[in-house]
């Protein structure tokens, strides 16, 4: 156990010298109390990964029980699963330590590494019940295990702070009848506070998985009034049929509208103006959408939501269309999400003018982008959260220091970024001088070799 206490203070997240240097950014944040225990925990995990055969599981548990405390705010538990694979009870004991000691934990993840694959296994009750004890959790993201819907409802029933849930669910043949008051009550108790609920159904040879995915997505949209994003981003559920449904129009509290633009344009009978409380609009333009002159489309029907605060675009490839929405909604916009489906990644203009059109923007999210042509972030004074997942095919160098320039950033998640050693050194220096990332609470940077 002495080896575990004293070995290795550096942390290498994935591979390569640049990745070690990337972690220097976090180390220079040690003066922020949110990171002290976090860095110590990462050090011990690294040591165990290298010398685990010389350190007993019981000794490792003793050390973890000492350093896992209230300063631990987030963890990717997958790394603990890898430590003693021949000791199946080890991970559960560490999970119990987290449930007991990490009294302020906000994010719990079990996410595979980029080179790991294989189908998810079922999460056993003894594991998800421990996760369910972490009452301060704001985010859960798990792709190593799958859940039944009933297990998920039970796990989340006391997690009143939970806002993001990303999981895989076993599809069931049941539907979700609106008259089932018991089910509705369970849903609202467990998921009613969620802002992001991403779920994908496990593959089946029949069409049960697809039907389940659609029915559960629509049920959530109708009944979970705080949702901003729902379902599977790779399996867009068209809501336009609901716009003409009398019962749907009576549901005046509905706040999320999901539109597939190609279908919306070709169907004449759309009554979206009945959905007066819409504050989140998600539009999928798709791979085959023809960007006609704006006056020939029905986009004007989507410009009149008086309470809109969040825009979500999938596969939007027109600057003109984007600017139209920003002109209509930018001044009250608090969230902007731009996503490209796998295999359709784009190099796009960075948020260079967003600060002028969206003075209240708090969340900015890009997924599966190749890079940015222009970046100007320093004037985004209200931005709190920045998340960018670069495409695995991205090769352009990322201007990391510029991305971190907004002065009030609290949460940063950057994945698959191509960053040069020079740019990393520049970023580390700016962090040391307290010119960037001064307000940070959550920081996750994953870079790859160039």
**Residue 152 near residue 167, CB atoms below 8 Å:** yes
pLDDT at 136: 97
Please state the rounded mean pLDDT for residues 253-278: 71
Q: Which residue has the higher pLDDT, 354 or 336?
A: 336
**pLDDT per residue over 27-62, tens digit each?**
555 455 555 567 678 778 888 887 767 889 999 999
From the number of C-beta atoms within 10 Å of its C-beta (0-12, 13-18, 19+), residue 234 rates as exposed
- What is the share, in percent, of the chain residues with pLDDT greater than 90? 36
Q: Which of 69-73, 193-197, 259-263 has the lowest mean pLDDT?
A: 259-263
The residue whose two tokens read 């139209």 is 324
Pairing of strands 196-201, 164-169: parallel
**pLDDT per residue over 210-247, tens digit each?**
889 988 988 888 888 888 888 887 787 877 555 554 55
Report residue 379 as tokens. Answer: 């004037």
**Residue 96 near residue 130, CB atoms below 8 Å:** yes
Give the whole-angstrom CA distance, residue 112 versus residue 154.
24
pLDDT at 267: 65
Please state the rounded mean pLDDT for residues 131-155: 96
Q: Which residue has the higher pLDDT, 149 or 15?
A: 149
Residues forming beta bridges with residue 108, ordered by sequence position: 75, 140
**pLDDT per residue over 312-321, tens digit each?**
999 998 889 9
Report residue 371 as tokens. Answer: 């890079």
pLDDT at 288: 84
Give the dihedral sign, CA 84/89/93/96.
positive
- What is the share, in percent, of the chain residues with pLDDT greater than 70? 82
**Residue 136 near residue 104, CB atoms below 8 Å:** yes
Q: Where are the domains of the chain?
A: 106-235
pLDDT at 173: 77
Average pLDDT across the chain, whole number: 82
* pLDDT greater than 60 at residue 3: no
pLDDT at 26: 54
Give the whole-angstrom CA distance, residue 175 versus residue 271.
26
Give the dihedral sign, CA 137/78/364/23.
positive
Q: What share of the chain is helix, strand, coil (3-state, %, to 5)?
A: 35, 20, 45
Q: Which residue has the higher pLDDT, 133 or 116?
A: 133
pLDDT at 55: 85
Give the whole-angstrom CA distance, residue 127 versus residue 306.
44
Q: Which of 147-151, 194-198, 377-381 has the lowest mean pLDDT?
A: 377-381
pLDDT band with cut points at 50, 70 and 90 for residue 121: very high
The residue whose two tokens read 């510029």 is 402
Report residue 256 as tokens. Answer: 């999320």
**Residue 110 near residue 143, CB atoms below 8 Å:** yes
pLDDT at 162: 97
Give the whole-angstrom CA distance, residue 232 versus residue 243.
21
Please state the rounded mean pLDDT for residues 149-155: 96
Kindly report the CA angle at 97 between 93 and 99, in degrees rounded to 5?
A: 110
Residues forming beta bridges with residue 372, ordered by sequence position: 348
pLDDT at 421: 85
Q: Which of 66-80, 135-149, 195-209, 249-263 has the lowest mean pLDDT?
A: 249-263
pLDDT at 127: 97
Within 8 A by CB and 6+ apart from 44, the residues are: 4, 63, 64, 67
């Amino acid at each position: 156990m002495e080896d575990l206490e004293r070995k290795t203070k550096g942390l290498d997240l994935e591979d390569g010298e640049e990745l070690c240097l990337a972690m220097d950014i976090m180390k220079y944040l040690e003066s922020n109390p949110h990171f002290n225990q976090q860095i110590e925990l990462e050090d011990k995990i690294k040591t165990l990964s290298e010398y685990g055969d010389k350190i007993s599981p019981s000794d490792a548990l003793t050390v973890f029980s000492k350093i896992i405390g209230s300063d631990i705010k987030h963890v990717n538990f997958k790394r603990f699963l890898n430590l003693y694979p021949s000791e199946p009870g080890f991970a559960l004991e560490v999970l119990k330590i987290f449930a007991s000691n990490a009294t302020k934990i906000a994010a719990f993840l079990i996410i595979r590494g980029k080179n790991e694959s294989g189908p998810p296994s079922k999460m056993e009750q003894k594991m998800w019940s421990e996760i369910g004890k972490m009452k301060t959790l704001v985010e859960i993201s798990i792709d190593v295990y799958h859940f039944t819907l009933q297990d998920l409802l039970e796990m989340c029933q006391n997690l009143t702070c939970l806002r993001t849930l990303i999981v895989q669910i076993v599809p069931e043949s049941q539907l979700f009848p609106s008259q089932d008051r018991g089910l509705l009550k369970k849903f609202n108790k467990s998921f009613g506070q969620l802002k992001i609920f991403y779920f994908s159904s496990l593959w089946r040879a029949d069409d049960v998985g697809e039907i389940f995915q659609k029915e559960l997505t629509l049920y959530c949209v109708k009944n979970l009034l705080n949702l901003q994003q729902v379902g599977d981003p790779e399996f867009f559920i068209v809501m336009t049929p609901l716009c003409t449904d009398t019962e749907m129009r009576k549901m005046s509290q509905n706040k999320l509208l999901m539109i597939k633009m190609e279908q919306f344009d070709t169907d004449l009978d759309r009554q979206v103006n009945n959905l007066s409380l819409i504050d989140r609009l998600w539009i999928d333009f798709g791979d085959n959408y023809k960007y006609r002159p704006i006056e020939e489309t029905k986009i004007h029907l989507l410009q009149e939501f008086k309470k809109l605060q969040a825009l979500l675009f999938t596969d939007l490839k027109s600057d003109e269309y984007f600017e139209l929405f920003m002109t209509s909604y930018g001044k009250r916009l608090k969230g902007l999400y731009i996503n490209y489906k796998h295999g359709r990644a784009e190099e796009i203009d960075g948020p260079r003018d967003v600060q002028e059109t969206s003075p209240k923007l708090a969340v900015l999210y890009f997924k599966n982008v190749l890079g940015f042509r222009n970046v100007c972030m320093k004037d985004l004074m209200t931005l709190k959260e920045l998340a960018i997942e670069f495409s695995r095919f991205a090769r352009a160098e990322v201007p990391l220091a510029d991305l971190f320039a907004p002065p009030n950033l609290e949460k940063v998640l950057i994945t698959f970024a191509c960053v040069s050693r020079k740019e990393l050194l520049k970023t580390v220096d700016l962090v040391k001088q307290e010119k960037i990332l001064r307000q940070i609470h959550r920081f996750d940077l994953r870079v790859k070799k160039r």
